[in-house]
Structure 1
């Protein structure tokens, strides 16, 4: 019998701490029509979703949190409890679709049943239809939830998830057979090992201090942080991966750098639009980092965190991009990622579950002002997928919001597109559409600056 890990259980505790929060994560697939017969869709879901045992299981909790909740098979499982249908009002445009997604995601999942549901949405413009999957965060992080979404498709679980996971590329030299070619290196490696371990420990300690300070020390107060309601808004930004690649090649940065620089530009514009000053400490952002070493297919959370300040105070687009690159590099090198994972591992091994559950529940009830935004980046399928023979034209992420974060952004690559799914509180983040358009405008601006031989002058000015 499997137990919920301390990290996975933390999402349940955070949800329990605020009645306005639903900690389900979503994936939206927009599919070319015509929509198949309902029985065919049900057969597909029965075959492809239920092959994963977790989606037929419920959580059995222990009295007074004296032990971690256990996953047990649901004796009364009925697929009809989890599959729902909806039709958009005419003309079925994107605004109607995102409005529906916001409404569907705000409702909490029923903990007396397996913690997922699937919406079949018809009536989209151009004869299209959509599938919205909704999974509780205690089951899956962004990568495993996206893997579930891709698993619905005809191609199955595509290999790109294993190929493109960031940490899978960070194999140690000792794991590489080529490192055995020169046996004389082994004694030197052994002598250097204590130094390496000491440096790694120092980085983890430094990272732990940075994370603790980021959570406990308030940044500059803005309207992006504060109490939230139960209702949600949802918006989508789409940019071309070829445009991202243009900026990458010109400036020597990563996809994540460009994405977060565009997000910084849009948040800067939002603060100015609201009459607020974009200061250096205005946008400390929770950036989850995958700790998966390979795509094992497990449905759980394997993440750590970084907490950089995104440079909303910098007006120049190129300087802002370089600032993002530098800050993410320092966060990685400073040990935040390692410290986050070490803390989770230590809690799982040495802290009784009751103590960790009570502590998380108490902390998540407190108002926090250190972190004001969420930005998570998930590598998705690199080739177009198909669902029951129809092409999936869009694959979009839907993040949750909690702990006084009034907006959350999930970034997902699919085929030739990088999609930004933005969830906002209905009352206090009514401008999520403008936040989405600001991201698209920021990428367009960077592409333009990287063309027409204007780059040399801009880089010279930025470095000067």
Structure 2
């Protein structure tokens, strides 16, 4: 039996801290062609789910948290508890699809059963249909979820992923640990090697300590009053933005920044517009953003668990110029990476594994009970497959991520790269963020502006049954 790590279990504790939230993540795949017979789809998903251990396992918890929860086989596993049908009202566009997705993501998953559900969605316009898969965050982080759900596609095997581009995939060791060179056979070199190992360990420890301190200050720091944080209701809204990866790369080449810099700059500009439209001043401290960072090596892409660290950059929502905003985003991300926030968060997680689970569980439970107002946004980037996928012989046109919201954040944004496109999935509290569609449209507009300033946008390659990019 496999036990949950403190980070995995922490998502359960955070969910328990607020009856209005569900800490499940989702993926919406929009597929070309006629919807298959439901019996065929159910049979295919039954076969493919059997190859994903977590899809046939449930949680077993212990009284008084004497041990962390563990995964055990569900002796009564029944695929009909997990796969459902849904139909959209006419005209079956983005508005209808996104409203359904929001409603399906609101409810919590039943902890007496394996923590996932799926819906085959019919009635989508332009001869399309969709599949929503919902998985609890305690099972896996974004990359592991993407790799796991990839097994539901027709090829069912490993696919070439944008995950190979991330920093952690090229680092086999934990980020807060130094790499120790293989000892030389020459005794005359031993003293120098020992000095190198000692100083590397000291540098790594210093970075982890400084990074952990910066994260603590960021969490405890005060922030201007903002409508972006506060109590949330049980209901959700969902929207999405779609952009061409070629446009993002064009901006990267023009300004010497990364793709993630461009995406975060677009998010920053859209939040700025949202705050202005709400009559709020986008001040310098208004958008401290939780940015999860993968620490998963390439060899562990198929491991189903959470392997993430975190950074808390202040995004420059106060900067009115889009190019200057992009430059500041790039500089601030470079600074927080250099400061050791990533290493500091990882070190805290490793420390949590060294203490009794009951202590870590009750600590998380206590901390999540207190309202926080310093972090105002979530932006997580999940690399997806480079090649186009198929389900039941039909082409997967789009893959849109659905993040959760918690800890009084009223909006959350997940980014996902698939083939030649980049998707922003935006979840929001129904009552306090009715302008979620404007947030999505603002992201598309910001990318378009930066691409135009970089020499012009890439002309969209139209695909059969694939509508132009737009937010509902």
TM interval, shorter chain, is over 0.9
2:109 is paired with a residue whose SS is: coil
* 2:244–2:420 Cα contact (<8 Å) kept: yes
* 2: CA distance, partners of 1:430 / 1:34: 33
Query: Structure 1 stretch 430-439 or stretch 353-362: which is displaced more?
Result: 353-362
Structure 2 equivalent of residue 30 of structure 1: 30
Structure 1 equivalent of residue 433 of structure 2: 429
Structure 1 equivalent of residue 74 of structure 2: 74
Q: TM-score, normalised by structure 2?
A: 0.92
Q: CA deviation at 1:134?
A: 0.2
Structure 2 equivalent of residue 378 of structure 1: 382
Q: CA deviation at 1:43?
A: 1.8
- Say which of 425, 438, 453 aligns to 2:442: 438
* 2: CA distance, partners of 1:214 / 1:205: 14
The within-5 A match list for 1:285-364 is 285-296=289-300, 297-349=302-354, 351-364=355-368
Change (3 A) 1:152 1:184: farther
Number of residue-to-residue matches in the alignment = 450
Deviations 1:123-145 (A, max 9, x none): 10011110100000000111111
Change (3 A) 1:174 1:404: closer
Q: CA deviation at 1:275?
A: 0.5
Change (3 A) 1:30 1:364: same
Q: CA deviation at 1:161?
A: 5.5
* 1: CA distance, partners of 2:163 / 2:414: 19
Structure 2 equivalent of residue 396 of structure 1: 400
Q: CA deviation at 1:193?
A: 2.1
* Structure 1 residues without counterparts, runs of 5 or longer: 453-464
Q: CA deviation at 1:162?
A: 5.3
1:131 is paired with a residue whose SS is: strand
The within-5 A match list for 1:149-298 is 149-156=149-156, 157-160=158-161, 163-170=164-171, 188-296=192-300, 297-298=302-303
Structure 1 equivalent of residue 463 of structure 2: none
Structure 1 equivalent of residue 5 of structure 2: 5
* 1: CA distance, partners of 2:81 / 2:326: 46
The reply to whether residue 46 of structure 1 matches residue 46 of structure 2 is yes
Q: CA RMSD in A?
A: 2.1
2:241 is paired with a residue whose SS is: strand
Change (3 A) 1:100 1:279: same
1:68 is paired with a residue whose SS is: coil
* 1:279–1:312 Cα contact (<8 Å) kept: yes
Deviations 1:269-328 (A, max 9, x none): 001000001111000000000010125311110000000001000111111111111111
Deviations 1:29-50 (A, max 9, x none): 0000111111221121112222
* 1: CA distance, partners of 2:268 / 2:360: 34
1:262 is paired with a residue whose SS is: helix
Structure 1 equivalent of residue 98 of structure 2: 98
* 1: CA distance, partners of 2:417 / 2:187: 42
Structure 2 equivalent of residue 113 of structure 1: 113
Query: Structure 1 stretch 38-47 or stretch 435-444: which is displaced more?
Result: 38-47
Change (3 A) 1:256 1:207: same
Deviations 1:243-292 (A, max 9, x none): 00100001110010000000000000001000001111000000000010
* 1:147–1:161 Cα contact (<8 Å) kept: no
Q: CA deviation at 1:186?
A: 7.8
* 2:239–2:427 Cα contact (<8 Å) kept: yes
Query: Structure 1 stretch 210-219 or stretch 223-232: which is displaced more?
Result: 210-219
* 2: CA distance, partners of 1:232 / 1:48: 30
* 2:242–2:422 Cα contact (<8 Å) kept: yes
Q: CA deviation at 1:185?
A: 8.2
* Structure 2 residues without counterparts, runs of 5 or longer: 457-472
* 2: CA distance, partners of 1:19 / 1:125: 35
